[in-house]
Amino acid sequence: MKSKLNIGLIGAGRIGKVHGETIAFRVPEANLLAVTDPNTDAATAIAKRCGIPQVCASTDEIFANKDIDAVLICSSTNTHADLAVQAAEAGKHIFCEKPIDHTLEKIDRAIAAVNKAKVKMQIGFNRRFDSNFARVRQSILSGEIGTPHLLHIISRDPGPPPISYVKVSGGMFLDMTIHDFDMARFLIGEEVTEIYAAADVRIDPEIGKAGDVDTAIILLRYANGVIGTIDNCRQAPYGYDQRVEVLGSKGAIATENMYPNRAVVSTAESVRRDLPLNFFMERYLDSFEREVRDFVNAVVNDTETPVTAADGRVPVVMALAAKKSYLEGRPVKLSEIA
């Protein structure tokens, strides 16, 4: 391994830009050598902003570049698995945005390629790196709250995505809840064995017409007896709502939302604060930085990545179980899926 990790950036959209800037400005242990995107203008803009020397016409150029050690796959979801296979075959370490794919077949193929090539893979479940959720995980690991019994995850978006996105996203469970499924595993450090999903269309009938739901509570049962819920809604009028709480044998821990400031205004009407940070680019900005830095460090130091390829598979199984539970109106064991 060279002293600096050389990286190729695949995808110049919103999240590609975030990761590119992190590498360029915050991670001295890594260099960006090349970027590619079907939208050449977007790729060129990032290259200029981040000082990336080469804009490639295709991912093949990235994979063929011997100087590149690792790739960040930030392209559209349906390309993740194939690109991961190609990257692995080219001997590149992989940071891949979530989810790897919507089908277990393609996910398994990607994982097999990664394992065969003995490259490292990290999945972009950035919320694990948020200071709040990391604090909750730490409280469980350290024994501060004892053995966990009950878990709640609240995860609500400020507003629904465009219907065009809903139609291709794989559905709310695969596109939105996927983060919460990962969080459920991360916080408790144990596998879920059964899922019961109660869901409905409450926000926009068009979402229903597109075959999806927009509001759900998902009940989780863990191998170790923990019981948990995930609360999802495509629309919280007050903004992005991201909280968790865990009850354990010695205590409980709960996280509050993040706000743009800590000011409280008291008038003749109410005692109030401003709305929470509006969406994931503000709320989770720090976590995006930490996850990429940790990926670079894992490759440079040859340690396990903090979110492995296997960690990318299970949440998809959970999402498929949730969907099956919703459609059949009964608890579904994960063993029924895969």
Site for a second copy in 232-261 (CB under 8 A): 233, 235-238, 241, 247, 249-261
Contacting residue, 41, 272, 279, 310, with a second copy by CB under 8 A:
272
Contacting residue, 264, 301, 302, 304, with a second copy by CB under 8 A:
264
Of 260 and 303, the one with the shorter C-beta distance to a second copy is: 260
Is 177 a binding residue for a second copy by CB under 8 A? The answer is: no
Burial class of residue 53 in the structure, from the number of CB atoms within 10 Å of its CB (0-12 exposed, 13-18 middle, 19+ buried): exposed
Query: What span, in angstroms and rounded, lies between the C-alpha atoms of 224 and 147?
Result: 10
Smallest gap from Cβ 105 to a second copy, in A, equals 30
Q: What are phi and psi of 42, to 5 degrees?
A: -65, -45
Burial class of residue 109 in the structure, from the number of CB atoms within 10 Å of its CB (0-12 exposed, 13-18 middle, 19+ buried): middle
What number of chain residues touch a second copy (CB under 8 A)?
A: 72
Smallest gap from Cβ 229 to a second copy, in A, equals 5
Q: Which two tokens stand for residue 215?
A: 């509001």
Smallest gap from Cβ 149 to a second copy, in A, equals 5
Smallest gap from Cβ 97 to a second copy, in A, equals 24
Contacts to a second copy from residues 196-215, by CB under 8 A: 196, 198-200, 202-203, 215
Smallest gap from Cβ 290 to a second copy, in A, equals 13
Write the interaction track for a second copy spanning residues 76-115; mark x where CB under 8 A is met and - where it is not. ----------------------------------------
Contacts to a second copy from residues 120-149, by CB under 8 A: 131-132, 134-136, 139, 144-147, 149
Q: Which two tokens stand for residue 82?
A: 């194939």
Q: Which residues contact 112 (CB under 8 A, 6 or more apart)?
A: none
Burial class of residue 105 in the structure, from the number of CB atoms within 10 Å of its CB (0-12 exposed, 13-18 middle, 19+ buried): exposed
What does each C-alpha distance from 194 to 115, 313, 315, 333 come to in angstroms?
Answer: 28, 16, 13, 4
Of 9 and 136, the one with the shorter C-beta distance to a second copy is: 136
Contacts to a second copy from residues 274-293, by CB under 8 A: 274-276
Q: What is the DSSP string of 193-241?
A: EEEEEEEE--S-HHHHHTT--SEEEEEEEETTS-EEEEEEES--TT--E
Whether the Cβ atoms of residue 259 and residue 277 lie closer than 8 Å to each other: yes
Contacting residue, 53, 330, 335, 338, with a second copy by CB under 8 A:
330
Is 329 a binding residue for a second copy by CB under 8 A? The answer is: yes
Query: What span, in angstroms and rounded, lies between the C-alpha atoms of 89 and 118?
Result: 10
Smallest gap from Cβ 29 to a second copy, in A, equals 13
Whether the Cβ atoms of residue 155 and residue 133 lie closer than 8 Å to each other: no
Is 25 a binding residue for a second copy by CB under 8 A? The answer is: yes
Query: What span, in angstroms and rounded, lies between the C-alpha atoms of 208 and 163?
Result: 10
Of 77 and 255, the one with the shorter C-beta distance to a second copy is: 255
Smallest gap from Cβ 197 to a second copy, in A, equals 10
